[in-house]
Structure 1
Amino acid sequence: MQQIQTILDHAERHCREHGVRFTNKRKQVLSGLLASQKALSAYELVDYCKTEYGESMPAMSVYRILDFLQEEGLAHKLNLANKYVACSHITCDHVHEAPQFLICSRCQKVKEISINKSTASELKASVELAGFHMISPQLEINCICDHCLVQPA
């Protein structure tokens, strides 16, 4: 829990520096994302807040909070799953590459990694060569984590 509190402190400092409020409900939703090893839906976060904090939060409020967290670079939306994860770089002070997500198809664990700028540029060029235009360089890759690989299916 100490590590989560440290990350929340960084998130609060980030929000203060950007002139936005990091409300208690925003902290609770981000805490849910930080506590989970897998991506969570807004409804799973509603349940988390109810269980952990005894607070009933409407799903619409959670969606608004998730939008806020994304805008502030504190969370990411996994488009294929329509679920959310906390950014793994909240406590970093340097600029980050485009987020890439490895998603275990068995246990749904998510790991955020980065690819270097040259690889992202090559991908963009390939996309344009195919007659498309990249909207976002974010990739979501279907994988199997080490733990699930050694476990029987």
Structure 2
Amino acid sequence: MVTVAPCDTWAYALRLPHDPRAARVARMTVRSVLDSHGRVEARDTVALLTSELVTNAYRHTKGPASLRITALADGRLRVGVWDSHPRIPAPFGEPPQDRVPLAPVDVEGGRGLRLVQEYADRWGGWPLGDGPLDRGAGKLLWFEVGGL
């Protein structure tokens, strides 16, 4: 008799208000979800990269954002962040803008998407519609880490 073990797949979604605390809430949520599913090996990396995407959503839009954390059947974790701004930044866009340059050492910001480029196994982005920003337009940026 062959038994089929269920895949350890799951997904969580969180809507985040346009609030400076949204990145902290996203980090805490990711850590809690990964801890509860026994994925502590990926916790710090996923929390850091999630925080960077949510921070950018806050800094570059005036509206809410959405976060989705998904465990895929092959052991990878995928995190997607939707926001209302339509521009796809490097490294999520198409070449030749697919690499983020190093930020100058004397500036305070500009390192978040470089972190995604360095620590995620895969990443991408999609524009979502072409209507006004309050009608569902925007983008989805995602990254994946891990695998068993």
Q: TM-score, normalised by structure 2?
A: 0.35
Normalized per residue, which structure has more strand? 2
Q: TM-score, normalised by structure 1?
A: 0.34
Q: Which has the larger radius of gyration?
A: 1
Q: Which structure exhibits the higher relative contact order, with contacts defined as CA atoms closer than 8 Å and separated by 6 or more residues?
A: 2
